[in-house]
Structures are given as structure tokens and as C-alpha cells.
Amino acid sequence: MSTVVLPRIMEIGGGSIVHLPRVLQSIGSKKPLIVTDKMMIQLGYLGKLQSILQDHGIESEVYADTVPEPTAVSIQSGIEKVKGGLFDAVIALGGGSPIDSAKAIAVMGKFGGTINDYRFPRQVNKQGLPIIAIPTTAGTGSECTRFTIITDEKTDEKLLCAGAGFMPIAAIIDYELTISVPARTTADTGIDAMTHAIEAYVSRKANPYSDSQAIAAMKLIGPNLRKVYHDGNNKAAREAMMLGSTLAGIAFSNASVALVHGMSRPVGAFFHVPHGLSNAMLLPAVTRFSLESAKTRYAECARALTFAKLTDNDDTAGEKLLTTLVDLNESLSVPTPAQFGMDKKHFFAVVETMAKQAEASGSPGNNPKIPTIAEMVTIYKQLWNG
Ligand SMILES: [Fe+2]
């Protein structure tokens, strides 16, 4: 059995941001709160969005204080704004962080409490304010997932919050908004999207629906990830990555992520590594650990990503997946933990805690090979030893 949850409306394609007024109208929103960040102001995206709304006589207000890798404190003022009761929808504009912030603001603004009250394994199915998500990276896929991740800064823990209540009612998937994303962020977010598709496909919660979305996502992402990193103006590649990222989001939201994400969140929380980058660091080692337990599934990933030929047998395709993931990190200039500037002593001092936090998130339990704490510690240490 599987349950599929999706946004009610998805507007897809270059320039589709102009359909925002129509989307608001269809959900009966007359006074939305725009949740975004300073970068969206600098890039002029917020101004563009506001002028589209003004042209249609729609009044809006802005909360632009969201931060990368959002924390409980960073969303608090947004929650207070919503508690004022003036708004009937939340428009999330930006990368994964503003969208994740907006999700928590939309739910907690209506129902109160602290972010700890909403953490996994609780299923948050009650609807906060309706969310219209407009991603500007490709991407976290947050525009079409039933998850949000907020860091509790008291414990330095990234809390996974899950449930239909966090699913946007609508998503506007306009790849033109991703053209100006810098190369580093393009690579990090692209690897995140690829990881979503792979993990959804090998997950113990995979189902025919999530499989179809994951395979479609990999076919779009595999041949285009390097292209967008090396030439951000390649519109066809940007469009493929944007759609691939959304499909990958749909895939994992209706299956799950697995060990890479489980182990990646604590690294991000302790060492302030961007989410896609900590995934990239872990992806080769975790795939090597898991490969034998789902050989056929990983081989299918390699073929869909075009890392292996359709005629390669499962052993060859699996090998090609491992080598290509290592090569990919190199060609996308993914730093090692040392190159990123992580403190090795500190890292080794917290590996056990990180492994325990990973396990508590539930994600490693969806992996084809479920690791022990000791096995996760070994994988973490491999990041330093190669
Ligand atoms: Fe992710």
C-alpha cells in the first residue's frame, strides 16, 4: 500500500511565475505573506513578484529574514506575523531554505507550539495556511514534498518534520529563476536532487508511483548536472534540472530518502555545511556500503542517470555508478571535509552523536542495508580517510 500526496496545482515552464495571480485566485487568497530571503531582494526577484501581484490588485506583505539552513529562532518573527491573523496564504520564494522556513511558519503560525513539537515521528497532517512554493534552485524539491527541516539551535540538531500539512497547495516551477544561481550552489543543489531520486528508488518505501518519478528525474538530472555547473546559461540544461528536481522531490516525498540524508543532516547541523554539499561528500561512500543489498536497483539508477549503458549487466552498471559518483564530485569541485575547513578533531569527537542523530531521524531505516551505529561511524570516518 502507498499514499500519494501532491500539490493541487503545479505551473511548470519558463516564465510561469506570471501565473501566480491565477493560482492565488484559485485558492481564494487575497492577502498572502511572502516568505523569502535577502538574496531574492538583491536579485530583484521579490520586486518582480510584487509587481506581478500589484498589477492584479493583490495586497501582500513580506518576511525576508529567513536564513540558509533555517533555525527555530530564524522563523520566529515570521510565525508572529502569521499569528496576527491578517494573511490567508504564504508564498515561499527562494531556495530550499526559504521554502522550508515558509512551511514551518505556515503551520506554526496557525497552530503554535515549538518546532520540537512537530518533529518526526509525529505526522503533521493538519493544514496551516496554504503555501504556494516558488523554487529558485534545482533543488531541494521542497516545493512538492511533505517535509521541512528546521535546526534546533539549542541542541544543534536538524529536525525532520513530516506530514501532509507541509505539502504546498501549489508550486510554480519556473526554470528561468535558476539561470543566475552561482555555479557552487548549482552543483550542491543539483547533487541534492540527484540524491533524492537515487534514495527514493532504492528506499524500502519505494513504490510504483515513486519509482516512475525517480527514474524520470534521473533521466533528466544525469546528463545535465555537469552542463549546468559548467555553463549556467545553458537554458535547456537548466530546464531539465528544474523539472528533474521537482520530480525527484515528488519521488522521495512519496517514498523516502535514506542513509545519505540521514547521515548528512548532522554534518550540516554541526559543521554548517550546505545540505547538498554534505550529501555529495557522503554519496559515494554510502552507495558503496549499500550497493550489494540492492544491486539491481542501483544498476537501474546508473542506467537512468546515463552513467552506464543500457546493455551493461548489473555488476558493471553498479561499478560504473560508484566510479561516476566519485568522478562527478571531482568535476563539480566538491571539497573534502578538510578542504571545506571542518575541524577533524571536532568531527571525530562527535561522530557517535551524529550517528545517533542520524538513526533517530528514521532515514537510515529506509536504506536497502540498514546500518548499525558502528557502521555509520565507519562511513563518517571514511570521509577523512578516502
Ligand atoms: Fe535533500
E strands in 168-238: 170-173
Backbone angles phi, psi at 203, to 5 degrees: -60, 150
CATH of 9-178, one of 3.20.20.150, 3.40.50.1970, 1.20.200.10, 3.30.70.600: 3.40.50.1970
- If you measure from the C-alpha of residue 140 to the centroid of ligand 1, how many angstroms do you get, rounded to a whole number? 5
Band (pLDDT 50/70/90 cuts) for residue 386 is low
The CA 217 to ligand 1 mean position distance, Å, reads 14
pLDDT tens digits along 43-53: 999 999 999 99
**What angle is formed at CA 310 by the lines to CA 305 and CA 313, rounded to 5 degrees?**
105
Å from CA of 264 to ligand 1 middle: 9
- CA of 55 from ligand 1 middle (Å) equals 36
Distance 84 CA to ligand 1 centre (A): 32
Q: What angle do CA 356, 360, 364 make, to 5 degrees?
A: 90
CA of 198 from ligand 1 middle (Å) equals: 11
CA of 311 to the centre of ligand 1 (A): 30
Distance 287 CA to ligand 1 centre (A): 16
DSSP state of 371: P
* Spacing, Cα 86 to ligand 1 middle (Å): 32
pLDDT cut 90: percent of the chain above it: 94
DSSP output for 46-66: HHHHHHHHHHTT---EEE---
| The residue count for the chain | 386
- Where in the chain are the domains? 9-178, 183-384
User: Where residue 334 falls among pLDDT bands split at 50, 70, 90?
Assistant: very high
Give CA torsion, residues 89, 95, 210, 295, to 10 deg: -160
**pLDDT reported for residue 72:** 95
Does the pTM surpass 0.85? The reply is: yes
Three cell numbers, residue 241: 534540472
208-249 pLDDT per residue, tens:
999 999 999 999 999 999 999 999 999 999 999 999 999 999
Name the grid cell of 87: 494573511
CATH architecture for the domain at 183-384: Up-down Bundle (1.20)
CA of residue 51 to ligand 1 center, whole Å? 32
The pLDDT of residue 385 is 80
pLDDT for 248 equals 98
The per-residue pLDDT for range 255-309, each reduced to its tens digit, is 999 999 999 999 998 999 999 999 999 999 999 999 999 999 999 999 999 999 9
In 278-292, which positions are buried (b, 16+ CB within 10 angstroms) versus exposed (e)?
Answer: bbbbbbbbbbbbbbe
Ligand 1 mean position, distance from CA 262 (Å) = 10
CA of 142 to the centre of ligand 1 (A): 9
Q: How far is the CA of 16 from the centre of ligand 1 (A)?
A: 24
Whole-number Å distance, alpha carbon 52 to ligand 1 midpoint, is 31
- Can you say whether residue 112 is alpha, beta or left, with left for phi > 0 and alpha for psi between -120 and 50 degrees? left
Q: How confident is the model at residue 85 (pLDDT cuts 50, 70, 90)?
A: confident
- Contact status, residue 351 vs residue 380, Cβ threshold 8 Å: yes
Question: What is the Å distance from ligand 1's center to 252 Cα?
Answer: 9
Average model confidence (pLDDT) for the chain? 96
Percent of the chain scored above 70 by pLDDT? 100
